[in-house]
């Protein structure tokens, strides 16, 4: 049994054929966690699709309407880089519902993990880069609608900058966005987050972890959140097909440990989403995502040990 809930829906998974986006990774992560005895089926909650009123806190009515009617133009579909289908629309509504549920559980249990989500390239009026709806932005606004004073921090460690999230919250003083990413990579341009750390090509574990630690220190010095969303992208991995950083599997695990420890030390609940991951070998992507769940579990265990020792 895990000390927090995982959120997963079988219809997160899509058959995209030979697409670079391994849209069946969600099932592989879920099944791997259960097969290895890390998670019990009772640890896993099934989300409802996000309500349209939640989606409309972030996205424009025109865009939502187009998605529902299947009325995206050819250029809009090209920008999204996904083939349109009603199943895809449903998968994104479910992913947003999953991030809402993970956030709600995080506020209750300290952690909540959506085995999905992290679609940070979606803007209010358009989708791009495999991202149709910005589930983290939707979940953040949804939690703030339930708790008016809730301040939210987004820590985005996907190899690609969180352009949609940065844009959505640019003028929102209740949400702090921090993105650490490869500079010379999609997206271009990069609308400014509250804090951006642009990394050089081929940055490895030690330099990455130093930069991340500095970024977290600065973020927490500038902003005190009541909830943190962590986008645990697997694509800073050195074998990633769409990334140019050189993190190893243990380095990515240390990244997760660091984010969780810094949040936990300050008593900030963490809602996790998976975001990207395009390793040549999908097993590596799956392993990186499973390690994120292990890092969250170990962080909880450590916290428990410390509180019982104290
Ligand atoms: Zn990415």
Q: Provide the percentage of residues in the chain whose pLDDT is more than 70.
A: 100
Looking at residues 108-113, what average pLDDT do you find?
A: 97
Does residue 310 surpass a pLDDT of 70? Answer: no
φ, ψ of residue 226 to 5 degrees: the values are: -100, -5
pLDDT in tens, 205-249: 999 999 999 999 999 999 999 999 999 999 999 999 999 999 999
How close is the Cα of 225 to the center of ligand 1, in Å? 24
How close is the Cα of 1 to the center of ligand 1, in Å? 30
Question: Please, what is the average pLDDT of the chain?
Answer: 96
Displacement of CA 272 from its chain's centroid (Å)? 6
Neighbours of ion ligand 1 (CB under 5 A): 158, 160, 233, 235, 276
How close is the Cα of 274 to the center of ligand 1, in Å? 10
pTM: 0.97
Give CB contacts under 8 A, 24+ apart, made by 166-172. 166/190, 166/191, 166/192, 166/193, 166/196, 167/123, 167/124, 167/191, 168/58, 168/123, 168/124, 168/134, 168/137, 169/137, 169/140, 169/194
**Which residues are CB-neighbours of 256 under 8 A, at least 6 positions away?**
232, 291, 292, 295, 296
- Residue 192: pLDDT band with limits 50, 70, 90: very high
How close is the Cα of 62 to the center of ligand 1, in Å? 26
How close is the Cα of 158 to the center of ligand 1, in Å? 5
φ, ψ of residue 237 to 5 degrees: the values are: -65, 145
Q: Are 153 and 219 in contact (CB under 8 A)?
A: yes
CA 121, CA 270: separation in Å to the nearest integer? 21
């Amino acid at each position: 049994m895990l000390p927090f809930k995982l959120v997963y829906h079988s219809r997160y998974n899509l058959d995209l054929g030979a697409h670079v986006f391994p849209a069946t990774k969600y099932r592989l992560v879920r099944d791997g966690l259960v097969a290895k005895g890390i998670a019990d089926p009772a640890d896993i909650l099934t989300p409802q699709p996000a309500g349209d009123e939640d989606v409309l806190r972030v996205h424009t009515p025109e865009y939502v309407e187009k998605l529902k009617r299947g009325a995206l133009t050819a250029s809009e579909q090209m920008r999204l880089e996904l083939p349109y289908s009603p199943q895809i629309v449903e998968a994104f509504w479910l992913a947003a519902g999953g991030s809402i549920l993970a956030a709600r559980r995080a506020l209750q249990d300290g952690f909540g993990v959506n085995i999905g989500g992290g679609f940070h390239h979606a803007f209010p009026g358009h989708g791009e880069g495999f991202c149709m709806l910005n589930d983290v932005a939707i979940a953040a606004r949804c939690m703030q609608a339930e708790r008016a004073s809730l301040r939210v921090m987004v820590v985005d460690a996907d190899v690609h900058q969180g352009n949609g999230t940065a844009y959505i919250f640019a003028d929102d003083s209740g949400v702090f966005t921090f993105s650490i990413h490869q500079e010379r990579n999609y997206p271009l341009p990069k609308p400014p987050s509250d804090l951006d750390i642009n990394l050089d090509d081929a940055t490895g574990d030690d330099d990455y972890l130093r930069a991340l630690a500095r970024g977290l220190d600065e973020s927490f010095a500038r902003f005190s959140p009541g909830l943190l969303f962590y986008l645990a992208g697997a694509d800073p991995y050195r074998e990633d097909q769409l990334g140019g950083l050189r993190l190893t599997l243990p380095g990515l695990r240390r990244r997760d440990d660091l984010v969780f420890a810094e949040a936990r030390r300050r008593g900030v609940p963490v809602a996790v989403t998976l975001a990207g991951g395009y390793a040549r070998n999908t097993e590596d992507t799956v392993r990186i995502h499973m390690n994120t769940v292990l890092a969250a579990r170990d962080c909880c265990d450590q916290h428990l040990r410390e509180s019982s020792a104290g």
